[in-house]
Amino acid sequence: MIESAVACSPSLASAAIPAPFSFTQVPLPYGYAALEPYIDAQTMEIHYTKHHTAYIKNVNDALVAEKITAASEEAFFSAVSTLSVKARNNGGGAWNHNFFWQIMKPGSEENQPAGKVSEALTASFGSIEKFKEQFTQAAMTRFGSGWAWLLSDQGKLMIGSTPNQDNPLMDLPSGQTGIKGKPILALDVWEHAYYLKYQNKRNEYVANWWKVVNWDEVAKRLS
C-alpha cells in the first residue's frame, strides 16, 4: 500500500513537518510573449496555464489522497520511489516547470554564459561550444518526452536526460533515470513545449532555446 510505504519512510514522517506540505506554482517571471521570437506567446501561455497548472493540481490532489506528509519538495523526491505513478509524474512536472521558467529570460542572438559559468563549463567540457554540443545531444537523443539536464554531482558537472517528468532529485534506480545530483540547467523536450512553433523540428527549438537561457540564474545554482 502507498500509505504504508510512506508512513515507514523517516524522511516523510508526519512528526517532522510543522504544517501540511503542498506544491505551489511560481509566478511566471516574464510575460507570455517575452521570449519571442524564440518561444512563442501561445505556447508559453498554454504551457504555463494548462500543462503546469494541471501538474500542480494533480500532485496536490495526490498528496491529500495518499496522505503524503513530506516536509519539503526535497523530501518528497527523496522518497518518490515509494509513491504512486500519479504523485511521481505530477510532482516532477510541478517542480521541473517551476525550475524551467526561472532559468529563461528575454533573449538575444548574442546570449552567452560569462564569468564563473563560462569558466566552470569550459573546465568541465573543454569549451562552451563543446558543452552546448553535449547538452544538445542529450536533448535530441531523449526518445519521446523528457528533459535534458546540466547537474552537479558532488561538485562535478554532468549532462544527462530523464524520461517523462523525472528529474535528478528523485530516488530512482540509476537504470531508470541515469543521473542524480543538483539541477543547474534544464530543457523541456516534451512536444507541448515547442510543437506549435516548431512542429517536429526539435533541433530548431533546442538551437533557439540557447538564446533565452538566463545565465545569471544558472550562476546562482552553481554557487
CATH of 115-222 among 3.30.70.1230, 3.40.50.12780, 3.55.40.20, 3.40.50.720:
3.55.40.20
Contacts of 222 by beta carbon, 8 Å cutoff, 6+ apart: 116, 117, 120, 152, 184
Question: Which triple of cell numbers denotes residue 104?
Answer: 529563461
Model pTM score = 0.89
CA dist 132 and 112 (Å) reads 11
Pick the residue with more confidence: 7 or 67?
Answer: 67
CA dist 139 and 26 (Å) reads 24
Question: How deeply is 24 buried, as exposed, middle or buried, from its count of CB atoms within 10 A (0-12, 13-18, 19+)?
Answer: exposed
Per-residue pLDDT tens digits for 76-131: 999 999 999 999 999 999 999 999 999 999 999 999 999 999 999 999 999 999 99
Per-residue pLDDT tens digits for 180-221: 999 999 999 999 999 999 999 999 999 999 999 999 999 999
CA dist 47 and 90 (Å) reads 14
Distances (CA, A) of 160 to 96, 124, 157, 195: 15, 14, 10, 22
Give the strand pairing for 182-188 and 156-163: unpaired
Domain assignments of the chain as residue spans, ordered by start:
115-222
